[in-house]
Amino acid sequence: MGEPSSTKQLGDVIKNGRRGSLNGRLTIIGKQGHIAYPHLANNPIHLVIPALNDLCDELWDEGNEYFPATSFQISNIYAGTGVTNVIPGETEVVFNFRYSTESTHEDLQQRVLGILDKHGLEYKLNWEHSGYPFLTPKGDLVSSCVDAIKTVKGIDTELSTSGGTSDGRFIAPMLDAQVVELGPLNATIHQVNECVSTQDLDDLTDVYYQVLKNILI
């Protein structure tokens, strides 16, 4: 796949796998009220903070040879009416797991529920599983790519499973396909004036051709 895998120069990094992605949208239910009378309300922001601390501090797994440890990150928190004197009735927290092959999305979901329940929260939680992890271990395809980069660019490449999800997650489960992402630099991805060097495109064509020769000849 032609995903932009390279970091500082073409071919210095190839992706031989990707982490899985699991999204959660958590709503903590409290009781709205006047901020001057907190005993008549129940602030959901205050309620959820200890649970969020536990979720952030949790060691979900330790990763393995190919994958870093599973990461939990909060991406958004919403609450309140926009005024300074009203305790909100609900707080919404959006979070994401990028998880290694040492965890499953089902296990992560159960562990999150356990932490939330431990804190006695009233909540709603909606899940979206957006990608399984996949891995192409060292073998014919990986070796062919590494050798092709060495032949064309004269550099040693690094195997990595870092970064976001890619379409590789849809291809990898098909007949246990081997998937490697080898493409141009990712220095400007998702930025204004995203660009690719025309020289890199020419060199990448030569790398792909060499990969085919290594595999087929």
Tens digits of residue pLDDT in 26-62: 999 999 999 999 999 999 999 999 999 999 999 999 9
- The pLDDT value given to residue 24: 98
Per-residue confidence (pLDDT) for residue 165, from 0 to 100: 84
Cα atoms in the Cβ-side hemisphere of radius 13 Å centred on 17: 22
> What is the predicted pLDDT for the residue at 177?
87
* Residue 4 pLDDT exceeds 80: yes
Residue type, 22: L
Q: Where are the alpha helices (DSSP H) in the chain?
A: 44-57, 105-118, 140-153, 168-171, 198-216
- The angle subtended at Cα 67 by Cα 66 and Cα 73, nearest 5°, is 170
Amino acid 19: pLDDT: 94
Give the pLDDT confidence of 128-145 residue by residue, as tens digits.
999 999 999 889 999 999
Taking only the tens place, the pLDDT of each residue in 162-194 is 888 888 888 888 877 899 999 999 999 989 999
- Compute the 3-state secondary structure of the chain and give helix, strand, coil in percent, each to the nearest 5: 35, 25, 40
pLDDT at residue 103, rounded to an integer: 96
> Does residue 113 have a pLDDT over 80?
yes
Contact yes or no for 215/140 (Cβ under 8 A): yes
